[in-house]
Structure 1
Amino acid sequence: MIRKALASLVAVWIIGFALFAITLPQPMPLTGKVSEAVIVPTGGPGRIMRGLQVLRARKAPLMLVTGVDREVKPAEFAAQFEVAGELMDCCITLGFQAVDTQGNAREAAQWVAARQVTSIRLVTTDWHMRRAANELESALPESVVVDRDAVASAPSLGTLFLEYHKLIYSWITT
């Protein structure tokens, strides 16, 4: 009886991991839907550039980059990502509070509430999207619409393995 239960649990884990790995979220088109803001957690290549593409394509008028290192100055950020001063001043907020995905969600939820935003586009790496969205949706009021715009990557098996377990933990704890 215990062996059957354990075998079933292992089978569910294997199938779940396989589905997680082969069905990574995809980017949203830069045509069509407009959101009130784009939220970009730091940490993976291409995330900030994708957020800036969304902003420049006018698919969101505001952007929060959450989890920025406290040492980064707005002018350094603007120079690194070739952002005009006017765009930085009007439309981009650098969030310095978060150090992990849960912190990103809390920081984003505070920012969203302060601006009374009701629709956002979450931009993060494909392998990180499910957990980031789960954490964010748990921190936001149900009335806020979260669209998922994944940055395509080529994650290693190790990255997928670790993220799958973090996602399971996130589902259990939120």
Structure 2
Amino acid sequence: MSVWQGSAPIPLHTRPADPIFAHGVRKNFFRDKARRLNPMRQAAASHPASPSMAEQPPHRTRRWLRWVMEITGACLLFLTAAVVTDFAYFVATLQAEAPSPAVRADGVIALTGGSDRISEAFDLLTEGRAKRMLITGVNKATSPEALSGHTAAGAEVIDCCVDIDRNALNTVGNALEAARWVQDKQFKSIIVVTSNYHMPRSLLELRRVLPDTTLIAYPVISQNLKLDTWWTDPTSIHLLVSEYVKYASATFQLRVEQPTLQAMARAD
């Protein structure tokens, strides 16, 4: 062991016996050695932790945050899996083939949104599958003559057996107008004609307002929807996803738009 004096070390054994000096050298040497071996301990000694830090160490806080993140990730994963599964079930319930025309009911309801829907409903009416027909959601600019072009029977069948609703603005409005029509005619069974991708949401809204009426689905196969290979067709993907979102919103009754012109007028 040696000490520094000037520019060269002087061995301790060459210095005269000095107990105070020797004690100071040994104390400084061991303190410097301890600082080099455990710098974190020295830092902790020079900066004592606050009472809150002592009660909750940093590693415990990190563990709590990690636990929250893991629970959140698991919930998001479960929610994603549930939505994907429900979407797959929604697509699987859509019919890819036209139903049998051998159906009968008191009335038939055609929900506007495609010319094929009205044509199919007219066919059911002229074949005697129903007594009367309601076309709901007809635009104000659409004349009865334009509607008669969807059937070979012409204007005669419209005059005798067809009612036209121009009040409904969406599927909820269609259901409300259909309920008024069914109650007015005192019908017990109804054939519902709409596109196959639109049928689940239509039946959902109709069952809410017509719980005691028998609803017979008559889906019309949409030409824009390829159910067999929908995942390869961008148009089909967009159509199915948008309709599924609307169907999910209708399930929880998340509605923003007014259902009918009368409701809109009252809101204004």
Same-fold call, TM cutoff 0.5: yes
Residue number in structure 2 paired with 1:42: 112
- Say yes or no: does 1:110 pair with 2:203: no
Q: State the structure with more CA Rg.
A: 2
How far is the alpha carbon of 1:79 from its aligned partner? 3.3
Following superposition, the deviation at residue 19 of structure 1 comes to: 2.1
| In 1, Cα distance between equivalents of 2:212 and 2:124 | 22
> Does residue 145 of the first structure (1) align with residue 225 of the second (2)?
no
Query: 1:35·1:59 contact (CA, 8 Å) conserved in 2?
Result: yes
Structure 1 runs, 4 residues or longer, greater than 6 Å off: none
Q: Quote the Cα distance in structure 2 between the aligned partners of 1:57 and 1:81.
A: 11
- Find the aligned partners of 2:130 and 2:92 in 1 and give their Cα distance: 29
Where do residues 96-107 of structure 1 align in structure 2 (5 Å cutoff)?
96-107=166-177
The AA in structure 2 aligned to 1:137 is R
- Secondary structure in 2 matching 1:39: strand
Give the TM-score, by structure 2 length. Answer: 0.61
- Partner in structure 1 of residue 99 of structure 2: 28
Q: Deviations over 1:19-69 (max 9, x none)?
A: 2223313543112x3100010110024101110111122111211000001
- Give the secondary-structure state (helix, strand or coil) at the position aligned to 2:83: helix
How many residue pairs get aligned? The number is 172
* 1:84 and 2:84 aligned: no
C-alpha deviations, 1:126-168, integer Å up to 9, x for none? 000000111111122x221101110012421101001001101
SS at match of 2:141: coil
The answer to whether the Cα contact below 8 Å between 1:38 and 1:63 also exists between their aligned partners in 2 is yes
CA contact (8 A) 1:30 1:57 kept: no
TM-align CA RMSD: 1.6
1:80 is displaced (CA, Å) by 5.0
d(CA) in 2 for partners of 1:74 and 1:139? Answer: 27
The unaligned stretches of length 5 or more in structure 2 are: 1-70, 226-235, 255-268
Task: Give secondary structure in 1 for the equivalent of 2:109.
Answer: strand
| 8 Å Cα contact 2:175/2:209 also seen in 1 | yes
**CA shift for structure 1 position 75:** 2.2
1:135 corresponds to: 205
The question of 1:169 aligning with 2:254 is answered: no
Deviates more, 1:114-123 or 1:37-46: 37-46
Partner of 2:239: 159
> Which residue number corresponds to residue 120 of structure 1?
190
**What's 2:33 paired with?**
none
Q: Which amino acid aligns with 2:219?
A: A
Higher relative contact order (CA 8 A, sep 6+): 1
Partner residue of 2:87 out of 8, 12, 17 = 17
Identity of aligned residues (%): 32
State the shift of 1:81 in Å: 4.0
The farther-off stretch of 76-85 and 99-108 is 76-85
Structure 1 stretches of 5 or more lacking a match?
Answer: none
